[in-house]
Amino acid sequence: MAVAETSLTRQKQVLIGSVLIAGLCSIIYELLISTTASYFLGDSVRQFSLTIGIYMAAMGLGSWLSRWIKGDLLAAFIGVELVLGVVGGLCVPFMYLAYAYTDLIQPVMVLLIVLVGTLTGLEVPLLTRILEHQDALARNLSNVLSLDYLGALLATLAFPFLVVPFMGVFQSSLVFGLLNIALGLLNLWYFSPQLNISRKRVLGWSGFTVTAFLMVMLVFSKGLLDHWSSSLYSDRVVHRQQTPYQTIVLTQYKDDLRLFLNGNLQFSSVDEYRYHESLVHTPMSQHPHPTRVLLLGAGDGLAVRELLKYPAVEEIVLVDLDPSVVELAANDARLLALNKGSLHNDRVTIVSRDAMVYLDGNRELFDVIIADLPDPNNVSIARLYSREFYRLVRHNLSPDGIFTTQATSPYFATKAFWSIVSSLDAAGFEAVTPYHVLVPSFGDWGFVYASAQDRALMPRPIDVATRYLDKSVVEEALTFEKDLQSAKDIQVSSLDRPVVHEYYLDGWSYWH
């Protein structure tokens, strides 16, 4: 009798432990799906909202469907874990394929969420029914749900700090799929005496087959990612790196070196000088004696290269969230040749921090602040184009300080561009002046100049060596054609309502 009770207790422990792992894996899958969708489609709020809503509804569907499962509940539970491991393990590879070769990434995303959610919804009712002969229903349900929620907590903590930084989304998908399958095989082995021979064979062969398949994919994941990257980018991929914040890709065709962050072009070496000269020398030509300059973003070192042309500049502080970008720019031979080793200059101080956090905590004023930040294609970045952010910029400027930001394309995203202008106006700057230039790899590109004093942007001689920018270019840059001028009812973007993000997505949706 004691032996039988001990056996039942161990069985219960195995099943309850399975709930913990199953809960962890299913939440990881949902985080992977929504994160991957955010990488490819932008608008992280929309992707995560869709994921959560559809996932919860699908779990409800799975719970409802569980009532139709009769007979061998253990075999059904093991089968669910094996199928969930396959679907979850392949969720990111499927999304990569859908993005690279079709226009169906959103439907594929929804289908994967429904499958994962439905299979997850089957788990808790099945386990509760399996355990019902050992404890009262209320106690079983509380045990199962407690461990399931604990697994979800562990998943949400591990995902940003361990999973993505060390494995990236592609490998993480495969690893947790294998973990899910291992969970099913563990239960198959432990409860083998209670299963009939035919079901054991089917489940066993199925489990080992899908394990072998996912293992092969994991071993060759680097090659698969390289092949996928090559199909996604028109030029040869020479560097690919997943960081906790983004995917960094360098491509090269002859002399054209290009940097992409999360699939978005940051520069082309063929014409980047047009962009960086317009960004840097336009504000620098307006200040009588700039000695301290703050760069927000610009981790590639190209804006720093331009600033180092000014002997009067004593200190350049570069604030970039992702240290991996700065490390790559400071050590990669191709980027070093392009930025001329600017990040190793003694006048440059590098800070790895969020731009808004840095500005909020900084107490030393700057003569010139330049924002070379990614476009506001998600809400997290859109806050760096808000009225509140620009107020922080204003507080970090000296009394005669000048600020300039890149402001996406006034042609492709007209409303987003003018919203940035309006937000700077609302932030309390005395003079705000938009300007734009042609950067062939980008198209018509916009910038906004803002001054702490009533000093509008005026065409002035550029006193350092340039390849493109001069007084006449600045003069032309101040003129906006009729179809690029501000539309009516353009709203200020704020932290509470980041309309610049909505404007940006609406503008670019026609072209992407």
Q: What is the pLDDT of residues 182-198, one digit of tens each?
A: 999 999 988 888 888 88
For 315, phi then psi, to 5°, come to: -145, 135
pLDDT above 70: residue 140: no
The total number of structural domains that make up the chain? 3
CA–CA gap between residue 127 and residue 135 (Å, rounded): 12
* pLDDT band at 39; cut points 50, 70, 90: confident
155 plus 69 within the same structural domain: yes
For residue 42, pLDDT beyond 90: no
Residues 99-108 have a mean pLDDT of 90
Q: Alpha-carbon distance 177 to 139, whole Å? A: 30
3-12, 95-104, 125-134, 424-433: lowest mean pLDDT where?
3-12
DSSP 339-377: HTTGGGSTTEEEE-S-HHHHHHH--S-EEEEEEEPPPS-
What residue numbers bound the domain in which 17 lies? Answer: 2-227
369: tokens are 């602040």
Both 392 and 474 in one domain: the answer is: yes
pLDDT of 258 strictly over 80: yes
217 and 247 both lie in a single domain? no
- Alpha carbon distance 347, 309 (integer Å): 12
Question: Which pair of structure tokens corresponds to residue 362?
Answer: 């900084």
pLDDT for position 229: 75
Residue 7 — very low, low, confident or very high, per pLDDT cuts 50/70/90? low
User: Where residue 7 sits, what CATH number does that domain have?
Assistant: 1.20.1250.20
The catalytic residues are 372
CA distance 347 to 247: 29
Stretch among 347-356, 439-448, 485-494 having the lowest mean pLDDT: 485-494
CA angle 404, 405, 407 (to 5 degrees): 140
**Structure-derived torsion over alpha carbons of residues 208, 193, 80, 94, reported in degrees to the nearest 10:** -10
Cβ contact 81:184 at 8 Å: yes
Q: How confident is the model at residue 410 (pLDDT cuts 50, 70, 90)?
A: very high
Q: Residue 307 contacts by C-beta under 8 Å, 6 or more apart in sequence?
A: 280, 284, 293, 295, 313, 316
Examine the fold and report which residue of 243, 265, 287 is the final residue of a domain before the chain moves on: 265
Confidence of residue 175 (pLDDT cuts 50, 70, 90): very high
Contact 82/211 with Cβ under 8 angstroms?
A: no
Q: Do residues 207 and 274 share a domain?
A: no
Q: Which of 207, 241, 265 is the last residue of a domain?
A: 265
List C-alpha distances in Å: 292 to 303, 308, 311, 318: 14, 12, 12, 11
Judgement on whether residues 366 and 351 belong to the same structural domain of the protein: yes
3-state SS of 178-221 is HHHHHHHHHHHHHCHHHCCHHHHHHHHHHHHHHHHHHHHHHHCH
The pLDDT of residue 123 is: 85
Question: pLDDT at residue 313 above 90?
Answer: yes
Tokens describing residue 480: 């906006």
Whether 418 shows a pLDDT value over 80: the answer reads yes
Alpha helices in 233-285, H assignment, sequence order: 272-284
Structure tokens at 264: 């978005």
**What are phi and psi for residue 77, nearest 5 degrees?**
-60, -45
Report the alpha-carbon angle 504-506-511, nearest 5. Answer: 95
Of 216, 247, 265, the one marking the end of a domain is 265
Statement: residue 138 has pLDDT above 80: no
Q: Which tokens in the block code for residue 295?
A: 């760069």
Mean pLDDT calculated for residue range 209-215: 95
Q: Does 430 lie in the same domain as 399?
A: yes
Q: Based on the domain organization, do 248 and 276 belong to the same domain?
A: no
Q: Do 179 and 80 lie in a common domain? A: yes
Same domain, 258 and 300: no
Q: How far apart are the first and last CA of the chain?
A: 69
In angstroms, the CA 113 to CA 34 distance is 9
- The chain-wide mean pLDDT, for the chain, equals 91
Domain identity same for 238 and 181: no
- Would the pLDDT of 139 be above 70? no
Would you place residue 9 in the very low, low, confident or very high pLDDT band (cuts 50, 70, 90)? low
CB contact set of 477 (below 8 Å; sequence gap of 6+): 278, 282, 435, 436, 437
The answer to whether the CB of 235 falls within 8 A of the CB of 260 is no
Over residues 229-257, the pLDDT tens digits come to 777 788 888 998 888 888 899 999 999 99
Coil, helix or strand at residue 437: strand
Q: Find the CATH number of the domain harbouring 490.
A: 3.40.50.150
Judge if 254 and 294 occupy the same domain: no
Q: What is the C-alpha to C-alpha distance for residues 217 and 222, in angstroms, rounded to an integer? A: 9
Q: What is the pLDDT of residue 34?
A: 94
Are 197 and 291 within one domain? Answer: no
Residue 71 or 3, more confident: 71
pLDDT given at position 1: 45
**With left for phi above 0 and alpha for psi between -120 and 50, is residue 380 left, alpha or beta?**
alpha
Q: What is the DSSP letter of 237?
A: E
Q: Would you state the pLDDT for residue 243? A: 86
Neighbours of 481 (CB within 10 A): 10
Q: Average pLDDT, stretch 209-223?
A: 93
Phi, psi of 84 (to 5 degrees): -60, -40
Nearest-angstrom CA–CA distance, 465 and 311: 13
